[in-house]
């Protein structure tokens, strides 16, 4: 075959040499616009897995790369006058120039034709090529020419960055954060040979413009960065090797994915590779790794399927199928890390204490967890745990085990929760006429015995018409209050847990069947009329609600107030106002369900007006020393619905009205919403609201291990973690998870004490057996 690689970056060169090695009869050309041994960029970072892969495919190149590698373990963080360091993070880096030189020399040795200083404008310049590899980087002309076929999805990210280098060798991957009068700048610094380090400076568009960097040439930009980062540079100069870029050398990262990776141009096939096909943000340093792995996969498919012209379509289809999955995985991991750097100035740099800031930085991708940090640097993590516990009022005696973040207490107003685990409100559909019964006593009581710090009952309805189903619990009469008081008294007398009451009104989602019948569907008989912000049903089959009148509002407010009064006298410690999931108060907040033309519809303040009226009325009768939480749907997951930015506005309004906690849930407002599920998928909402609005938050949703909770609490992404389904599977989730991470100090109920040490010993035995 005649194969032409347009672009002699890592992708084009490595693919060229692999194919030549596979079959020397192929004619392979790599066409590069730059001079030989002349390139941009500084250091690139690899993982061990990429190296293993490369070793299998061309041991000689791998060997040369490994010889040139620089290895380092430490991460150092500079912020607000502090310099902090942790170890065990294991990076390897190599200069981009060095890498390309190795690949170029290997190509030449194998007989790949390298053509330099030729700008390719179009694939048709190679009419006799069987296969054209578009390895011409992120601004690929070839991809742009066939954009209709390749369907590129290019998103320009908001931050600005500039790639620089310096002749100073740092012995740690160094992050330096500096505040200017216009905002924060950060430098990502890592060495790649004995004398040189990559020095990437990043900031927001606002700070970039405010400092006039949009009008600065490269020398002016360098002078600015040298002054700002003078301390960490310690006299060293910054350098650019991107003189080919005109004007400002500050770039915006372009996140790219392509719907299709190959195209037949009538004569031969064109296929995208490396940055031309996809990009990964430098926050996780995987661009070069992806380019090399693309090259390996395409060569592997030729080896598997056959390397004749007729095999090309099948090979290209298999290549895309396999690589697209890997690319999405890396891009997802990169996204969290990239977003962290985009919001670091507005969210963390001024508010988190330096210790916690560093923890947040280390866990930014949400792939490195608390226990993962322990494996990397045990003494640093224990020091951090000790610091965190002290901040929560828990001193660790010398030699004593440290209390992990999830088991530290939290004080809200006059109520101190013994730990950060919350049993999330869960409808049980087992009440009769709104009365909680023995089931509720046993259900909630056993979860309190199981170690959670706060146990919420289910959404408790403020009126009979405010129920979701006939089985929902309520608090609209004194008998119900007495039944709840019995449950709360049990929790208080037998456990250290606090009792939470979630008050709600079903609104347009009322009058439906029990959760295990036809959920959200109207009753077979005995339906009651519904009210909501507007006459918008939950789904096509649903009953159409009546838009609330002023009289309706007054009546429902009175119901909330009466229920809150009863809840206070029943002894509940924490009240939560249910403003999520499409129920009555949520229906006011979402523009999808609130189409009102009066002062209760329209902008944020109007949509929040009625929920806030209720909040204030309830706050007046709820004891001052007891906190109130507000549950929000922080994302409607539907076009035109609320987003986390809207939720932050509502959180601010509730904070001003006196809320103590925002419980950050999402969805269930619109029937065919499209949530993006995944581990800890709603935690970013809690993080945003806590650190931008400055109010305590509760994270919820797909949190199911102690490691998750410790990571969230330690990083300051939330103050509490609510777990629902894990508590259905295991009432003693907290006690069991504490044992799994080796915490012996957590108290078990006296009655169950005999079971504790056997449980712990069995876990130790199972762990020993698993590790052989």
Ligand X SMILES: Cc1cc2nc3c(=O)[nH]c(=O)nc-3n(C[C@H](O)[C@H](O)[C@H](O)COP(=O)(O)O)c2cc1C
Q: How far is the CB of 67 from ligand X (least distance, A)?
A: 49
In a 10 Å sphere around its CB, with 0-12 CB exposed, 13-18 middle and 19+ buried, how is residue 13 labelled? buried
Q: Which is nearer to ligand X, 280 or 703 (CB)?
A: 703
Among 4, 358, 459, 706, binds ligand X (CB under 6 A): 459
Q: Based on the residue annotation, tell me whether 677 is a catalytic residue of this protein.
A: no
Q: Which of residues 612-641 bind ligand X (CB under 6 A)?
A: 631
Identify each DSSP E strand in 69-208 by its residue range.
Answer: 70-72, 74-79, 82-86, 91-95, 113-115, 131-134, 152-166, 172-180, 183-191, 197-203
Give the other-Cβ count within 10 Å of 686's Cβ: 29
Q: Which does 12 bind (CB under 5 to 8 A by kind): ligand X, ligand FAD, none?
A: ligand FAD
Question: CA separation (Å) from 610 to 104, 536, 550, 557?
Answer: 68, 17, 10, 9
* Phi/psi of residue 289, nearest 5 degrees: -55, -45
450 binds ligand FAD (CB under 6 A): no
129 binds ligand X (CB under 6 A): no
* Phi/psi of residue 116, nearest 5 degrees: -105, 165
Site track 721-740 with ligand X (rule: CB under 6 A), x = hit: --xxxx--------------
649 binds ligand FAD (CB under 6 A): no
Q: Which is nearer to ligand FAD, 12 or 453 (CB)?
A: 12
Binding-site size for ligand FAD (CB under 6 A) equals 34
Among 426, 531, 570, 696, binds ligand X (CB under 6 A): 426
Q: Please give the full DSSP string across 519-539, using - where no structure is assigned.
A: BTSBPSS-----EESSS--SS
Q: How far is the CB of 331 from ligand X (least distance, A)?
A: 25
Cα dihedral 130, 136, 139, 145, rounded to 10, equals: -10
Q: Which is nearer to ligand FAD, 146 or 357 (CB)?
A: 146
Q: How far is the CB of 593 from ligand X (least distance, A)?
A: 17
Site track 149-168 with ligand FAD (rule: CB under 6 A), x = hit: --------------x-----
Q: Which does 424 bind (CB under 5 to 8 A by kind): ligand X, ligand FAD, none?
A: ligand X
Evaluate whether 688 touches 644 at the Cβ level (below 8 Å): yes
Among 78, 79, 130, 137, binds ligand FAD (CB under 6 A): 137
* Phi/psi of residue 482, nearest 5 degrees: -65, -40
**Using CA atoms, how far apart are residues 188 and 267, in angstroms rounded to an integer?**
45
**Using CA atoms, how far apart are residues 125 and 18, in angstroms rounded to an integer?**
24
Evaluate whether 281 touches 337 at the Cβ level (below 8 Å): yes
Evaluate whether 20 touches 28 at the Cβ level (below 8 Å): yes
Site track 542-581 with ligand FAD (rule: CB under 6 A), x = hit: ----------------------------------------
Q: How far is the CB of 275 from ligand X (least distance, A)?
A: 37
Asked whether the CA dihedral 406, 409, 410, 415 is positive or negative, the reply is positive
Stretch of 262-270, 407-415, 544-552, 700-708 contacting ligand X, by CB under 6 A: 700-708
126 binds ligand FAD (CB under 6 A): no
Q: Which of residues 59-98 bind ligand FAD (CB under 6 A)?
A: 96
Q: How far is the CB of 25 from ligand FAD (least distance, A)?
A: 25
107 binds ligand X (CB under 6 A): no
44 binds ligand FAD (CB under 6 A): yes
Catalytic residue among 319, 348, 538, 583: 583
Site track 291-310 with ligand FAD (rule: CB under 6 A), x = hit: x-------------------
- Tokens 């390749």 belong to which residue? 150
Q: How many helices (H) and strands (E) does the chain have?
A: 25, 29
Residues that bind ligand FAD (CB under 6 A): 6-12, 31-34, 40-45, 96, 119-120, 135-137, 141, 163, 198, 242, 274-276, 285, 287-288, 291
């Amino acid at each position: 075959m005649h194969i032409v690689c347009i672009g002699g970056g890592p992708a084009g060169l490595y693919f060229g040499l692999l194919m030549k090695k596979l079959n020397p009869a192929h004619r392979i050309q790599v066409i590069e616009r730059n001079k030989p041994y002349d390139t941009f960029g500084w250091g690139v970072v690899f993982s061990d897995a990429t190296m293993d892969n490369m070793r299998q495919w061309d041991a000689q190149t791998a060997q040369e790369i490994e010889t040139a590698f620089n290895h380092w373990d430490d991460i150092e963080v500079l912020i607000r006058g502090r310099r902090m360091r942790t170890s065990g993070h294991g990076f390897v880096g190599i200069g981009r120039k060095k890498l390309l030189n190795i690949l170029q020399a290997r190509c030449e040795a194998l007989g790949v034709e390298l053509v330099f200083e030729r700008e390719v404008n179009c694939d048709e310049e190679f009419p006799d090529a069987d296969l054209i590899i578009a390895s011409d980087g992120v601004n690929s002309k070839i991809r742009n020419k066939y954009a209709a076929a390749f369907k590129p999805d290019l998103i320009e990210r908001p931050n600005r960055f500039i790639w620089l280098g310096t002749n100073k060798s740092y012995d740690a991957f160094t992050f330096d954060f500096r505040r200017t009068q216009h905002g924060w700048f950060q430098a990502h610094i890592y060495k790649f040979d004995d004398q040189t380090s990559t020095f990437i400076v990043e900031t927001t568009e606002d700070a970039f413009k405010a400092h006039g960097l949009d009008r600065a040439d490269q020398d002016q930009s360098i002078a600015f960065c040298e002054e700002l980062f003078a301390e960490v540079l310690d006299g060293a100069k910054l350098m650019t090797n991107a003189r080919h870029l005109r004007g400002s050398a500050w770039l915006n990262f372009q996140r790219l994915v392509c719907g299709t990776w190959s195209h037949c141009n009538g004569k031969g096939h064109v296929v995208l590779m490396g940055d031309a096909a996809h990009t990964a943000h430098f926050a996780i340093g995987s661009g070069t790794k992806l380019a090399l792995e693309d090259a390996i996969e395409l060569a592997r498919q030729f080896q598997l399927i056959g390397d004749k012209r007729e095999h090309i379509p099948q090979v290209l289809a298999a290549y895309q199928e396999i690589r697209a999955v890997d690319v999405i995985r890396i891009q997802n991991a990169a996204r969290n890390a990239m977003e962290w750097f985009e919001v670091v100035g507005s969210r963390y740099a001024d508010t988190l204490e330096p210790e916690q800031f560093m923890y947040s930085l280390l866990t930014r991708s949400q792939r490195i967890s608390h226990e993962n940090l322990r494996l990397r640097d045990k003494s640093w993590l224990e020091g951090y745990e000790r610091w965190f516990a002290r901040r929560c009022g828990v001193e660790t005696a010398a030699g004593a085990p440290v209390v992990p973040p999830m088991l530290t207490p939290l004080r809200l107003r006059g109520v101190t929760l013994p730990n950060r685990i919350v049993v999330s409100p869960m409808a049980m559909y087992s009440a009769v006429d709104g009365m909680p019964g023995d089931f509720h006593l046993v259900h909630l009581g056993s979860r309190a015995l199981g170690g959670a710090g706060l146990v919420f009952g289910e959404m408790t309805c403020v009126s009979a018409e405010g129920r979701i189903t006939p089985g929902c619990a309520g608090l609209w009469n004194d008998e119900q209050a007495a039944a709840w008081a019995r449950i709360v008294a049990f929790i208080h007398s037998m456990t250290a847990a606090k009792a939470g009451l979630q008050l709600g009104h079903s609104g347009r989602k009322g009058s439906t069947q029990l959760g295990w019948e036809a959920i959200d569907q109207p009753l077979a008989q005995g339906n009651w009329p519904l009210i909501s912000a507007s006459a918008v049903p939950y789904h096509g089959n649903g009953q159409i609600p009546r838009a609330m009148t002023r009289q309706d509002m007054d009546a429902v407010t009175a119901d909330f107030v009466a229920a809150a009064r009863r809840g206070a006298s029943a002894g509940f410690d924490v009240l939560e106002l249910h403003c999520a999931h499409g129920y009555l108060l949520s229906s006011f907040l979402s523009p999808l369900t609130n189409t009102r033309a009066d002062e209760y519809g329209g902008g944020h303040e109007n949509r929040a007006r009625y929920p806030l009226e209720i909040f204030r009325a309830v706050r007046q009768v709820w004891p001052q020393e007891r906190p109130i939480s507000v549950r929000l749907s922080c994302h409607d997951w539907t076009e035109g619905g609320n987003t986390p930015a809207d939720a932050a506005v509502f959180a601010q309004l509730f904070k001003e009205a006196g809320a103590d906690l925002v419980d950050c849930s999402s969805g269930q407002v619109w029937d065919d919403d499209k949530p993006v599920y995944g581990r800890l998928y709603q935690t970013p909402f809690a993080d945003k609201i806590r650190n931008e609005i400055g109010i305590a938050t509760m994270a919820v949703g797909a949190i199911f291990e102690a490691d998750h909770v410790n990571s969230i609490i330690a990083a300051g992404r939330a103050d509490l973690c609510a777990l629902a389904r894990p508590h259905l599977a295991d009432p003693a989730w907290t006690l069991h998870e504490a044992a799994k991470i080796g915490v012996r100090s957590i108290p078990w109920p006296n009655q169950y004490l005999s079971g504790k040490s056997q449980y712990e010993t069995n876990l130790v035995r199972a762990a020993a057996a698993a590790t052989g």
